[in-house]
Chains A and B, each alone.
Chain A
Amino acid sequence: MSKGKNTNLRLNLSDILVTIVIALVFGLVFRLLGPVYDLVKPFGLHLDALLYGIWFIAAPFAALLIRKPGVAFLAETAAALAEMLFAGSGGVINLYYGLLQGAFSEAVFAAWRYKKFSLGIASLSAFAALIASIILDAGYAYLPLLAGWNLILYLVFRVIGSVLFSGLFPYALVKGLEKTGVTQSLRPVTKEDYNVLK
């Protein structure tokens, strides 16, 4: 802590372990939601795209909670790896989606230099993860070859789902956790904390 200002932004073992435990919980949630997601698929009307947003939740949630660089990427990747190890539907695909979604989510928090952790930024990071998933889906699922109206329906549902489940929801969860006081020991020390001591 005494070496300079940036040292407290490095991840220590406690941050890593908390992030991975959270990622594992979400990996389990993803695994359990997989069958539900598959069941709403067959109508071709993309009801599954609404649920898709849940798969972006690990990165914004961890970043809002711990507020340090690298946490979002680590959380999303670890959650994807956990889903793969739990034999989730889709198997190996999950890992690639997780890596890219995590990187895109992380980029949003990095763009604000890890100083802003508002609802807007959380939603934006979910949106970035959505872009990542669409990039992969364009190649994997031939998105451009769907009929126009169907593609638009798909995109609209995904945007709604991602902002709702991975922007609003993690924000509300972290707000709830703040009340328990557990977040105080996780976050880097801010200027306000020093001001209290004066």
Chain B
Amino acid sequence: MDTVLTNTSTLFFKINPSLKFILISSLFIVYLFVQNLNTMIWASLFFLILYYFVSGLSGKWSFWFVLITLIVSLFSASAMILFGKGSHIIYHQSLILITQESLARGVLLGLRTFTFSLIGMIFATTTLPVPFFYSLMQQLRVPVRYAYGCLAAFRMIPIMAEEFMHIRQAMRVRGMTRQKGVKAFCERMTRYTITMLAQSIRRAQRTAIAMEAKRFSMTEKRTYFYEIGWSRNDVYFVIILLLTVALGFVFSSYFPLTPYTNVLDQ
């Protein structure tokens, strides 16, 4: 991730991770109940602007991500556009039936998926795992065993990657990579998955025993190496997020781009 992320000192990195997590996940509820196409158009635009300013991704990565996400989001709406119900027919050939209603619904669905992807990306690229799980323990009172379990698990990813390379090298030495056919492929996949899962389980158990041996499960009087607190940045964050959401709603009522204010109406 280090090469992908640009600058970890911007505002969105300094926000309390729990606050960011809760507010960003609650946006799901907000936009789940938006049936107004105009609101969704404006909201996706404003979140795109927000994403542009706060995303931790470097420019080139960021551009491709947005483009691909937009295309993919519209793909996901294709079923609704091509085969949805509706009465004002635009195009009809055998099974394909594009109506104005289904087109509006499809575009809304696509934009909704796009907005959620952007929001998810804002969160994922500006949140580092260590402060995030420390904050979950301190602010949201997530039991220490679960939070530290996650942290320990994150540390195992590089080990797993190394193990994957070892298995591949071992297979190459034994000529397994040159075998062709479905059976050989299945054999290779089984060897990868079973070996890596078994090793991961054993490693997790060993780690757990080591943690227990150091009195890890002790719950009272725990101190933390990183103290995650609150700052003025949290206030800025709440204001920025509320402003982005509010602007979407305000613009949709003053500058409606389409006549579809409720796509569920027949």
Contact = CB atoms under 8 A, between A and B. Distances in A.
A21 B201 contact: yes
Interface stretch (B115-123, B171-179, B222-230): B115-123
B239 to A, nearest CB: 20
Given A84-B123, A145-B85, A20 B79 contact: no
Residue of A86, A90, A92, A94 ringed by the most chain B CB atoms within 10 A: A92
Given A14-B209, A17-B204, A44-B78, A90 B109 contact: no
A41 B198 contact: no
A90 B117 contact: yes
Where chain B touches its partner, the secondary structure class is: helix
A150 interface: yes
Contact of A13 (B119, B120, B208): B208
Given A147-B97, A185-B205, A91 B123 contact: yes
A14 B204 contact: yes
A128 B239 CA distance: 40
B76 A41 contact: yes
Nearest to B26: A92
Given A87-B124, A91-B119, A182-B202, A16 B145 contact: yes
Contact of B125 (A22, A87, A142): A87
A141 B102 CA distance: 12
Interface residues of A, number: 54
B123 A18 contact: no
A93 B24 CA distance: 11
Nearest to B118: A91
Contacts, number: 169
A86 B127 CA distance: 10
A179 to B, nearest CB: 8
Interface stretch (B6-14, B38-46, B151-159, B245-253): B151-159
A146 B109 CA distance: 13
Given A25-B160, A147-B83, A142 B72 contact: no
Contacts of B212: 13-14
A182 B198 contact: yes
Contact of A147 (B84, B112, B204): B84
Contacts of A12: 208
B160 A17 contact: no
Interface string A65-107: 1000000001000100100111111111111100000000000
Contacts of A140: 32, 112
A41 B75 contact: yes
A135 interface: no
Interface string B211-243: 110001100000000000000000000000000
B150 interface: yes
Contacts of B121: 87, 91
A177 B150 CA distance: 23
A173 interface: yes
B147 to A, nearest CB: 10
Interface in A134-155: 139-142, 145-147, 149-150, 154
18 contacts: A18-B205, A24-B150, A25-B160, A38-B72, A41-B72, A41-B75, A41-B76, A43-B78, A65-B201, A78-B150, A85-B124, A90-B116, A92-B25, A96-B25, A141-B80, A145-B80, A147-B84, A177-B198
Report the 10 A-B pairs with minimum CB-CB distance, sorted nearest first.
A91-B120, A87-B124, A14-B208, A150-B83, A44-B79, A42-B75, A41-B75, A44-B82, A38-B72, A44-B78
Interface of A: 12-14, 16-18, 20-25, 28, 38, 41-46, 65, 74, 78, 81, 84-96, 139-142, 145-147, 149-150, 154, 173, 176-177, 180, 182, 185-186
